[in-house]
Amino acid sequence: MRVVSGIQPTGNLHLGNYLGAIRNWVRMQDEIAAGGEDDAQCLFFLADLHAISMPHVPAQLRAGTLEMAAALVACGIDPARSILFNQAQVPQHAELQWLLSGTARMGWLNRMTQWKDKAGKNREGQSVALFTYPVLQAADVLLYQATHVPVGEDQTQHLEFARDIAQKFNNDFAAEDAPVFTLPEAITPPAAARIMSLRDGSAKMSKSDSSDMSRIELADDAETVMKKIRKAKTDPDPLPSEPAGLDGRPEALNLVTIHAAITGASVEQVLIDHGGQGFGPFKTALGEALVETLRPISAELQRLLDDRAALGTILASGADRARELAVPTLENAYRALGLVRR
Ligand code: TYM
């Protein structure tokens, strides 16, 4: 079992990242540690190379990379048990991306919904990196023979793309009994694969939303969390007693989903407990549950941010370990393509 996943170090970690992905990273890390399987390994990285596909400020990227590393550790990623690093210190990611670019097809990239969403009507004005972004993402996981990739729902199309590349590369360049790449599987949480904006139940919660009120950040203090939940958009009806009553009510569905994910209850149970209530009392209960969950994380985050040198050391030693795991697969890929190496 090889678990691999990444996050862009732009902006702060938000509740969508946490419930959709990071919490699963921590669970899988803990399960692997408990299972005692010798060669099972988790690799988690900051996708700083992906972050340069959009306009960015270098000083912010540099600071954001250390801050995101701190946030992951605060959430429970343990650098002693998982390999935590940033892509830029493991050049094999960019190398494999180029090798895979011969296999990736323009048509596949043209179909990517994230490309279409981010480029909008201005495709000609986008960076080449934004278009080829999924090829780098495929390299990120194929480089380590990832078997499981815990992500939110918005990344599953990119994972399908990585499988397509792996399959085609193996077919075209590897012997049937000696594939170069493992086909990775996306792991999405059943309940919280897609957390929506607090201002608009039809848009996902996102770092790039211009409104701070649209997302809860893991570093938000208690007062801010309560305010954002109190002001979250809702409709005038009380909460239904059954999930079917949430149809056509995206904002209500989102708040109930968050409540369920945070407390570990099912959506059915949340509605049994709160059905018939107006949003006032429900929001208070939800805000309090969130504050309880986030309090220890944000306290630990503040502590870690006080020692940036230690964060730099964690990333450097993670990168050393990642490079070691990456080299054999990269060499196999070079050789399979007929490229001469010494
Ligand atoms: P990124 O940085 O946008 O998000 C990190 C993780 O958080 C999940 N996520 C969400 N889940 C539920 N609801 C939401 N509103 C929400 N918003 C974000 C994402 O699905 C993701 O799992 N391209 C990736 C980073 C990446 C990567 C990889 C991931 C680069 N290489 C290889 C996996 C494997 C990205 O931009 O995620």
Taking only the tens place, the pLDDT of each residue in 41-94 is: 999 999 999 999 999 999 999 999 999 999 999 999 999 999 999 999 999 999
In a domain, 70, yes or no: yes
Cβ of 29 below 6 Å from ligand 1: no
CA–centroid distance, 193 to ligand 1, in Å, is: 10
Report the candidate in 82, 21, 79, 91 with the shortest Cα–Cα distance to residue 49: 91
Beta carbons of 93 and 138 less than 8 angstroms apart: no
**Would residue 300 count as lying in a domain?**
yes
pLDDT in tens, 214-262: 999 999 999 999 999 999 999 999 999 999 999 999 999 999 999 999 9
Residue 191, pLDDT score:
81
341: in domain:
no
Span 133-149, pLDDT tens digits: 999 999 999 999 999 99
Radius of gyration of the chain (CA): 21
Choosing from 116, 118, 233, 283, the catalytic residue is 118
Q: Please report, rounded to a whole number, the percentage of residues in the chain having pLDDT higher than 90.
A: 95
What's 67's domain CATH number? 3.40.50.620
pLDDT in tens, 8-29: 999 889 999 999 999 999 999 9
Please check whether residues 281 and 314 belong to one and the same domain: no
For the chain, what is the mean pLDDT? 96
Q: How many residues does the chain have?
A: 342
Rounded to whole angstroms, the Cα distance separating 43 from 322 reads 8
Domain extent for 273: 212-304
The residue whose CA has the least distance to atom 6 of ligand 1 is 17
C-beta 48 within 6 A of ligand 1: no
Domain total in the chain? 2
Kindly tell me if the per-residue pLDDT of 6 is higher than 90: yes
Dist. CA 150 → ligand 1 center (Å) = 9
Q: Please tell me the predicted confidence (pLDDT) of residue 24.
A: 95
Residue 200 located in a structural domain? no
* 204 catalytic residue (yes or no): yes
